Amino acid sequence: MNSSNTPNDWSRHLATSTRRLRRSAVREILKAAVRPDVISFGGGLPAPECFPDALIARASARLLDAEHGGRTLQYGESEGVAELRALLAESVDRPVEEVLITSGAQQGLDLLGRALLDQGDTVLVENPTYLGALGAWRPHGVRFIPLPIDGDGMVVEPLDGLLRTERPKFLYTMPNFHNPGGAVLSLERREGLIRLAEAHGFLIVEDDPYGDLRYDGDSLPSLLSLAQARGIEDQVVRLRSFSKVVAPGLRVGWLRAAPTLVDVLVKLKQAADFHPNILGQRIILDVIRDPGFNEHLAHLRKTYRERRDAMESAVAQFFPEGTTWTTPVGGMFLMAKLPHQLNAVSCLRRALDAKVAYVTVDNFTVDDSGTDAVRLNFTNASPERIREGIERLGNLFRETANRSFQLTS
Amino acid sequence: MNSSNTPNDWSRHLATSTRRLRRSAVREILKAAVRPDVISFGGGLPAPECFPDALIARASARLLDAEHGGRTLQYGESEGVAELRALLAESVDRPVEEVLITSGAQQGLDLLGRALLDQGDTVLVENPTYLGALGAWRPHGVRFIPLPIDGDGMVVEPLDGLLRTERPKFLYTMPNFHNPGGAVLSLERREGLIRLAEAHGFLIVEDDPYGDLRYDGDSLPSLLSLAQARGIEDQVVRLRSFSKVVAPGLRVGWLRAAPTLVDVLVKLKQAADFHPNILGQRIILDVIRDPGFNEHLAHLRKTYRERRDAMESAVAQFFPEGTTWTTPVGGMFLMAKLPHQLNAVSCLRRALDAKVAYVTVDNFTVDDSGTDAVRLNFTNASPERIREGIERLGNLFRETANRSFQLTS
């Protein structure tokens, strides 16, 4: 058998869309950085010591007892466990038909892409934006139009002009504690965005995995609630996750969309994996109904606030002069822009040698900008480890800055 | 705001592929048939009273204790939990790099379609075949070429001629206890198929969710093992599931493929949902390593064998004369072909009124044949309920046959 005649060379057999795939840099760094001697700011990991283990173990024991085991372990509905859907629908003041439970919020992004995107379609995204969304949608062969973002979130004003010539399939935004930037979309801009959606009739995908992790100030109304107030709620898809406030290993997220869109997403979900795992869904249902859940959330916020503070003060102390960032008032990330066009991509190898990991912001952009910026996760290490890791990184960046300054002067 | 200007009419916004979607008839019947007064032969549900609850509860308690909870609940690798992958790789005598754990075997089918299928591609399928595979691949706009199937599984001989003109992306087969037909691919045909794969260089997708559920006789070698013996193992993708032998609600399946293909599937998995849920994977790992697991399997086979016998004897007794079927020596289904061109599709409404559910085989064909055949699941009801339900169905089919005989004579 001649090997040229076999399908061993898979590249000849791949679908066109598959050739557009990239391996997730963050997932790869996550893999490299699991060694306990590495201080990793690279992933988006919650703190395992803050998982509500006791609540989860109690729920699991109940759900797997002789009375409940049969139901917990059997096939279930593609839409998700009915009681959980009802509770989530109530939380956004919408009918249950508009809620779909997904295998993590990532699956919501993937299903939306599959439901809506054809090759050549346009998607408006903040730049930088969440790389998992880009990864899910890039294989469809879409054109991303980058929207600038500042300390108050997406800059909404230029959109009006853009929408006179572009007909995007949707606009994707993370209004709360943006990944990677950390910014919060201001109330004024939220209202402006909804007014534009009303005027131009486009769809908004509102991704809000970190909404419950606010450390300072008060929450702002969701884009869904603002749209609902104007009767255009079917123009907003809202995605949520339990990965950050309960546990990511359970793989449970959810979304709320127009019922006709949910109907399509359910069919896609059936074909993709039938339904989200039932044990995970039912654990979540028990945990969020548990009187101890609010206490868990308060503890989580307190822990993460301390870590955010530790990271911000360490960055201020150790990073090169001229480094800029927006204080993240919630979420999991601080994005730092380095001065002097420092190339954070080329520093990464030495950082890993020094046993510190981060991801560079070029992974999150649609124009490959961001090589001078790093996304730093502050939820998955103690304040002491954060300080130590940021000091190592700061030393490395400062040395590099000094060297390149000497070279060019 | 004029509603014609809004995206509320989703049909205008859907991707081309989405318009090819159908809602799964089986999933819909499953939903209708959850009422306890309905005897459902419609789904593919395992018996909940046979779930290894005690093993699962013990595993779960261990995995969620203070020592293990952090690891069980955190994000994990897209490829799956390393220890489970290693065990599964060993079970098929292949390197760990060739194993990917999926959110149920259905996700394996979906990822394969996404990795390999472009619009216009050809896929060879048994006719009838598993409707979940058709559902996953139809949106890609592929052309299915039906291969006939008899009591010894797929009729392999005509393939040689077909493959002189067709270049399929892959051939899909269920060699063990075919869904819906129940047939087992004979050893001679297995060897013939592998010889053809070697000669023509095509890829085989071997779907084997029921392989451990054999009630009579000895297991036959898998297509993978036969391919391996000839050094062409990279031409076989083998899909397995834990849904039938442990529990479907955990959503854990796996596949073994050529390492270069696994590499692509992992990227797709990252974009789809990051990774399978960790709690489910680790429960499976504990359960299949438990000394009690073999006893569980033996009990499961004994229970299902009794139910298979109950169904076969009831079909023989109550279904109209001239009904034909192949005795399923394993798996979960008996497929019965009704005589006199009886239309099982048009009988379904009355069957549901009589509180019995089934699915018709036209859902499983690529040419809409099979309206005169029903797929009957025998694993999810007691022998008594099976007998009662088959009697009801038999009465209904015989009345219909008599009536149409009177009308036409």
Whether residue B117 is predicted with pLDDT greater than 70 in this model: the reply is: yes
Positive or negative: CA dihedral B348, B353, B358, B363: positive
Query: What is the pLDDT, as a whole number, of residue A409?
Result: 55
How does residue A359 score in pLDDT terms, banded at 50, 70 and 90? Answer: very high
pTM of the predicted model, to two decimals?
Answer: 0.95
Q: How many helices (H) and strands (E) does chain A have?
A: 14, 15
A154 neighbors A184 (Cβ within 8 angstroms): no
Predicted pLDDT of residue B1: 39
Q: B1 or A385: which carries more pLDDT confidence?
A: A385
Interface test with A, best of B204, B234, B279, B287 (most A CBs within 10 A): B279
CA distance B365 to B395: 26
For residue range A31-45, list pLDDT tens digits in order.
Answer: 666 788 899 999 899
Pick B64's closest partner by Cβ from A57, A231, A277: A57
**B75 and A30 in contact by Cβ < 8 A?**
yes
Q: Is the pLDDT of residue A231 over 90?
A: yes
Task: Render pLDDT for A287-298 as a digit per residue (tens, 0 to 9).
Answer: 999 999 999 999
| Predicted local distance difference test score (pLDDT) of residue B256 | 98
- The CA distance from A28 to A30, in Å, is 5
Instruction: Taking residues B4-29, report their average pLDDT.
Output: 70
- Tens of pLDDT, residues B296-305: 999 999 999 9
Burial class of residue A92 in the structure, from the number of CB atoms within 10 Å of its CB (0-12 exposed, 13-18 middle, 19+ buried)? middle
Span A78-97, pLDDT tens digits: 999 999 999 999 999 999 99
Contact B276/A43, CB-based, under 8 Å?
no
What residue ranges define each of the domains in chain A, with the CATH number in brackets? 23-44+294-408 (3.90.1150.10), 53-289 (3.40.640.10)
Tens-digit pLDDT profile for residues B336-378: 999 988 999 999 989 999 999 999 999 999 998 999 999 999 9
**Chain A nearest CA to B315, separation (Å):** 26
> Using 50, 70 and 90 to split pLDDT, how confident is the model at A10?
low
Q: Cβ contact (<8 Å) for A273 and B73?
A: no
Please tell me if residue A168 touches chain B, with a CB cutoff of 8 Å: no
Label residue B28 by pLDDT band (50, 70, 90).
low
Who among B22, B61, B116 is closest to A15 (CB)?
A: B116
Mean pLDDT over the full length of chain B: 93
The residue-averaged pLDDT of B248-257 equals 98
List CB contacts (< 8 A) between A104 and chain B.
Answer: 273-274
What pLDDT, on the 0 to 100 scale, is given for residue A216? 97
DSSP run (H or E) holding A377: strand A373-377
Contact partners, residue B119, CB within 8 Å, separation at least 6: B140, B141, B142
The answer, for B53 touching chain A at a CB cutoff of 8 Å, is yes
Q: Distance from A328 to chain B by nearest Cα, in Å? A: 23
For B272-291, the pLDDT digits (tens) are 999 999 999 999 999 999 99
- Cβ of residue B114 closer than 8 Å to a chain A Cβ: yes
Pick the range with the lowest mean pLDDT from A300-304, B64-68, B314-318, B339-343. Answer: B339-343
Q: For A306-315, A335-344, B225-234, which range has the lowest pLDDT when averaged over its residues?
A: A335-344
Mean pLDDT of B322-345: 95
Assembly ipTM: 0.95
Q: Where are the alpha helices (DSSP H) in A242-343?
A: 259-273, 278-289, 293-318
pLDDT of A139 over the 90 cut:
yes
pLDDT tens track for A189-215 = 999 999 999 999 999 999 999 999 999
pLDDT 10s digits, B207-221: 999 999 999 999 999
Q: With a cut of 90, say whether residue B245 has pLDDT above it.
A: yes
CB of A229 within 8 Å of a chain B CB? The answer is: no
A267: nearest CA partner in chain B: B23
Nearest-Cα distance to chain B for A363, in Å, is 14
Which of A315-329, B202-216, B306-320, B338-352 is predicted with the least confidence, judged by mean pLDDT?
B338-352
- Tell me the two tokens of residue B198: 């070697």
Question: What pLDDT score was predicted for residue A3?
Answer: 42
Has residue A9 got a pLDDT over 70? no
State how far the Cα of B239 lies from the Cα of A282, in Å rounded to an integer. Answer: 28
CB contact under 8 A, B278 and A249: yes
Q: Do A248 and B74 touch (CB under 8 A)?
A: yes
